[in-house]
Amino acid sequence: MGLVGTGIPGRPFSALPVPIRRPLQTTHSLKKPIMTAPDELADFVRRLPKAELHLHIEGSLEPEMTFAKAAKHGIRLPYPSVDALRAAYDFRNLQSFLDLYYAGVEVLRDEEDFHDLTLAYLARAHADGVVHAEIFFDPQSHTARGIPFATLMTGLLSGIRAGRENFGISCFLILCFLRHLDADDAMRTLRAALPWKQHIIGVGLDSSELGHPPSNFADVFACARLEGFIPVAHAGEEGPPAYIHEALDILKAARIDHGVRAEEDPALCERLARERIPLTVCPLSNVKLAVFKQLAEHNLRRLLQAGLCITLNSDDPAYFGGYLGENYLATALALDLGEAELRLLARNSIEASFLPAGDKARWFQQLDRIHT
């Protein structure tokens, strides 16, 4: 594969990870009653050092913040209350979610909004034991509304800086092109991003998958790779395995986001396992968007057992009912995952990250020191 590699060789990167400052708080206390099994599971999951590799920052916009930002900017929302907005999060498929998601971002207008959004996510992720996050952002959903690229970048970067200072969490940014828009729009977005490229580790492809194959974006991904961005792409969420092939062969994706429909193509699964191309899987998202009817039917465990590098992620946690910790817990309970599998998921998340090799080695050591 024509990977750019892990880290950005030869390119300075400003959002360098820093070691976590203090051990995570655990709920262990001699005065507490003996913990029930779910408490122990939650505590174990929280203590595992983990990376989150599939998180749309706009999808971490909680209804409370939507209302606060709407009030700040004098925007009237079509919902009477936070609860009414949350109650609308009942989706039939990816598109029915995206319609609400794009409406939601309208309340994000200035640097402070992007800062607050990012810092709120990093605080929540830290509480779940996330030590490193690689977060997607969708510039076209903001620039199309007249928000300057510089506004969102400045806000996101100051949020990341505050996350590092407050919680010791490291964070990389991945710019996503919206695949329901055309390739020229994506190319203009890439050009707008170039002055910021030392702050953006990769490019991705998201939004409505069906009818928008990765091959439509061959040229913009080729230019992005030449500029040193690491390519990733959503594929095989609702779309067929052929889209995963295109993402690998045409976009040269270093990771596939979702990718759960790979299972329909055994030769593809063998390739993903052999080449150790990670899938960033998001179980709660898949159930909310009807990719699987229920969590107990999810194929994550089978994909893991087939030797694929599977990571667990939250996608759009404000909309799908859970951040990373909840994804680990709910999936462990529904699929009966044991300690070894949870450890493997955490290990895969570090391995599949774009952290430099030395940082990965440190997190692997920390992981080995965690006991049940």
Q: According to the binding rule CB under 5 A, does residue 315 interact with Zn ion?
A: yes
Q: Which residue, 311 or 366, has its beta carbon nearer to ligand ADE?
A: 311
Q: According to the binding rule CB under 6 A, does residue 237 interact with ligand ADE?
A: yes
Q: According to the binding rule CB under 6 A, does residue 316 interact with ligand ADE?
A: yes
Q: Which residue, 6 or 141, has its beta carbon nearer to ligand ADE?
A: 141
Separation CA 105–CA 85 (nearest Å): 14
Task: Find which of ligand ADE, Zn ion, none residue 113 binds, CB within 5 to 8 Å per kind.
Answer: none
Return the SS3 of 265.
coil
Task: Give the strand pairing for 170-178 and 255-258.
Answer: unpaired
Which is it for the CA torsion 96, 102, 105, 107, positive or negative? negative
216: tokens are 């439509």
Q: According to the binding rule CB under 5 A, does residue 351 interact with Zn ion?
A: no
Q: Given the rule CB under 5 A, which of 93-101, 106-114, 207-215, 311-319 is the region that contacts Zn ion?
A: 311-319
Q: Which residue, 237 or 359, has its beta carbon nearer to ligand ADE?
A: 237
9: tokens are 């060789």
Q: Which of 140, 285, 353, 366 binds ligand ADE (CB under 6 A)?
A: 285
Q: Are 311 and 254 in contact (CB under 8 A)?
A: no
What x/- string results for residues 145 through 164 when contact with Zn ion is judged by CB under 5 A? --------------------
Q: According to the binding rule CB under 6 A, does residue 314 interact with ligand ADE?
A: no
Residues in region 202-221 near ligand ADE by CB under 6 A: 206-207
Residue 146: CB atoms within 10 A of its CB come to: 8
Task: Find which of ligand ADE, Zn ion, none residue 60 binds, CB within 5 to 8 Å per kind.
Answer: none
Report the amino acid identity of residue 36: T
Min separation Cβ 264 and ligand ADE, Å:
18
Residue 270 known to be catalytic: no
Min separation Cβ 207 and ligand ADE, Å:
5
Min separation Cβ 59 and ligand ADE, Å:
5
- Partners of 175 in the β-ladder: 137, 203
What x/- string results for residues 10 through 49 when contact with ligand ADE is judged by CB under 6 A? ----------------------------------------
Q: According to the binding rule CB under 6 A, does residue 52 interact with ligand ADE?
A: no
Q: Which residue, 61 or 85, has its beta carbon nearer to ligand ADE?
A: 61
Q: What is the DSSP code string of 34-89? A: PPPHHHHHHHHHHHS-EEEEEEEGGGG--HHHHHHHHHHHTPPPSSSSHHHHHHT-
Task: Give the strand pairing for 130-137 and 170-178.
Answer: parallel
Residue 366: CB atoms within 10 A of its CB come to: 18
Residues in region 129-168 near ligand ADE by CB under 6 A: none
* Selection from 192, 180, 257 nearest residue 224 by Cα: 192
Q: According to the binding rule CB under 6 A, does residue 56 interact with ligand ADE?
A: yes
Q: Which residue, 44 or 221, has its beta carbon nearer to Zn ion?
A: 221
Q: Given the rule CB under 5 A, which of 69-77, 79-87, 264-272, 309-317 is the region that contacts Zn ion?
A: 309-317
131: tokens are 């030590």
Q: Which of 47, 69, 124, 234 binds ligand ADE (CB under 6 A)?
A: 234
Q: Which residue, 4 or 55, has its beta carbon nearer to ligand ADE?
A: 55
As to burial, measured by CB atoms within 10 angstroms (0-12 exposed, 13-18 middle, 19+ buried), residue 234 is buried
Q: Are 128 and 324 in contact (CB under 8 A)?
A: yes
Look up residue 315 and give its DSSP letter: B
Look up residue 264 and give its DSSP letter: G
Min separation Cβ 210 and ligand ADE, Å:
11
Max CA pair span of the chain: 62
Q: Which residue, 136 or 328, has its beta carbon nearer to ligand ADE?
A: 136
In angstroms, how far is CA 269 from the centroid of its own chain? 22
Separation CA 367–CA 347 (nearest Å): 7
Kindly name the residue from 52, 62, 209, 237 that is annotated as catalytic.
237
Q: According to the binding rule CB under 6 A, does residue 108 interact with ligand ADE?
A: no
Residues forming the site for ligand ADE (CB under 6 A): 56, 59, 94, 101, 206-207, 234, 237, 285, 315-316
Residues forming the site for Zn ion (CB under 5 A): 315
| Residues with active-site annotation | 237
